[in-house]
Amino acid sequence: MEIHQFVPDFSYGDAIGNDALGIQRVLKGWGFDSRIFSKVIHPMYRNRAEFYLYYRYHSHPDNILIFHYSTGTELIDFLRDFPERKILIYHNITPAHFFEGVNQKVAHRCQEGRDELSRLTGVFDLALGDSTYNREELEAMGYRQTGVLPIIVDVSAYRQSLKKIPRFSYLKHQAPTLLHVGRAAPNKRLEDIIKVFYFCKKFSPRIRLLLVGSHYDTETYVAALKKLIKHLNLRDVIFPGHISTQTLTEIYAHASAYLCMSEHEGFCVPLVESMFFGLPIVAYNAAAVPETLGDAGILFEKKDYPAIAEAVMELLENQDLRNHLVENGKRRLQAFTEAAVAPILRLHLQNVGVKIKD
């Protein structure tokens, strides 16, 4: 028996790709031949994955196929008729309505991906969400056998990058930095972060805001954000765009707090990354955010901008509260390691008939 994974777009540094690599390490540790197949393979991963059509040479009825789903893809049509048992891992797709009026092509692509997923209930023997929120979506679509398999968050690249940079704690106090990491997409509600920052400025004129992430396909949304910044007469709002792991490491290492106002997240990996870097977190209670965050941050039920700004400033000034949340984050981080996820994966595989040697 072999257990292989399919990732439609195997991108370097991408959370889904890193999750697939983590699962592969676990499977190989159990003695399985395990390969990753993809349609699009980043040059950095050319020796880590194979073009999906090559799976024809590995197909066997005893195999298990794990498919990572985060967008509509023709790879499903390729796999549909293979006799292997199939497991879906659903990483969620942003609902189309968030992109209405921003990018109709993206909105259409999101809707197509969700529509396709709802038609695949008979294809997979087991459907896993990487959060309870995602599992509940699968159940609502009609999937009968479901479960949760948290993402394996690989922070090794950050750990290596940290060795190359100075970590001067005084930099946090020279210019307090509020951080958000992720694609500049409407569901992230970056406009709400900017409004919170507006009130933070009332408390601390030196504070700055970094909104890190790609603007690809959301240029009109970013233009609207910059218009809002100008309207509010704000300074110190920085859009670094898509940056290298090394630069992102430096930003995380010298940031003061993390703010998430997103209204739709299937998991939210930057929350876990913030835990690794010892950042206290303030977040809006929506979708999978509270599940991922656990007790590692402060959750708000309402978008009361002045109140959220007060919480942010409290985290910057109250060292005891800050230390408490940072310690909680370190413990919460352990839930997303290979060691923690492996036993959960083992149970799911056993439930579809896989025998794993101890």
Task: Please give the pLDDT value at position 167.
Answer: 61
* pLDDT range class, residue 44, cuts 50, 70, 90: confident
Shared-domain flag, residues 120 and 148: yes
**Domain containing residue 116: CATH number:** 3.40.50.2000
d(CA 52, CA 157): 27
Shared-domain flag, residues 230 and 314: yes
Q: Name which residue leads in pLDDT, 71 or 121.
A: 121
Task: Please give the pLDDT value at position 170.
Answer: 44
pLDDT at 253 exceeding the cut of 50: yes
Amino acid at 82: F
Q: Rounded mean pLDDT of the chain?
A: 94
* Mean pLDDT (whole number) for 36-63: 94
Shared-domain flag, residues 193 and 322: yes
The pair of structure tokens assigned to 172 is: 């946090």
pLDDT at 80 exceeding the cut of 60: yes
* Mean pLDDT (whole number) for 129-150: 98
**Closest to 185 (Cα-Cα) out of 210, 216, 208, 228:** 216
Shared-domain flag, residues 113 and 203: no
* pLDDT range class, residue 319, cuts 50, 70, 90: very high
Shared-domain flag, residues 184 and 328: yes
Encode pLDDT of 187-215 as tens digits. Answer: 999 999 999 999 999 999 999 999 999 99
**Closest to 40 (Cα-Cα) out of 63, 74, 15:** 74
* pLDDT range class, residue 255, cuts 50, 70, 90: very high
Encode pLDDT of 161-175 as tens digits. Answer: 888 876 655 445 568
Task: Please give the pLDDT value at position 31.
Answer: 96
Report the percentage of the chain scoring pLDDT > 70.
97
pTM of the predicted model, to two decimals? Answer: 0.95
d(CA 17, CA 15): 5
Q: Rounded to the nearest 10 degrees, what angle do helices 319-333 and 305-317 cross at?
A: 90
In terms of phi and psi (left: phi > 0; alpha: psi -120 to 50; beta: otherwise), the region of 292 is alpha
Shared-domain flag, residues 319 and 187: yes
pLDDT at 217 exceeding the cut of 50: yes
Residue 358 domain-assigned (yes or no): no
Residue 95 domain-assigned (yes or no): yes
The CA-based dihedral angle spanning residues 297, 302, 305, 306, taken in that order and rounded to the nearest 10 degrees: -80
Shared-domain flag, residues 288 and 341: no
Shared-domain flag, residues 222 and 84: no
Shared-domain flag, residues 191 and 228: yes
Which string of DSSP letters, residue by residue, matches 212-256? ES--TT-HHHHHHHHHHHHHTT---EEEEES--HHHHHHHHHH--
Encode pLDDT of 256-290 as tens digits. Answer: 999 999 999 999 999 999 999 999 999 999 999 99
Shared-domain flag, residues 180 and 115: no
Residue 356 domain-assigned (yes or no): no
Shared-domain flag, residues 78 and 61: yes
* Mean pLDDT (whole number) for 291-300: 98
pLDDT at 178 exceeding the cut of 80: yes
Domain that holds residue 42: 3-152+337-351
Total number of domains in the chain: 2
Q: Are strands 257-260 and 281-284 parallel, antiparallel or unpaired?
A: parallel
d(CA 116, CA 225): 32
* Mean pLDDT (whole number) for 69-76: 90
Report CA torsion sign: 109, 185, 253, 272.
negative
Shared-domain flag, residues 250 and 205: yes
Task: Please give the pLDDT value at position 62.
Answer: 96
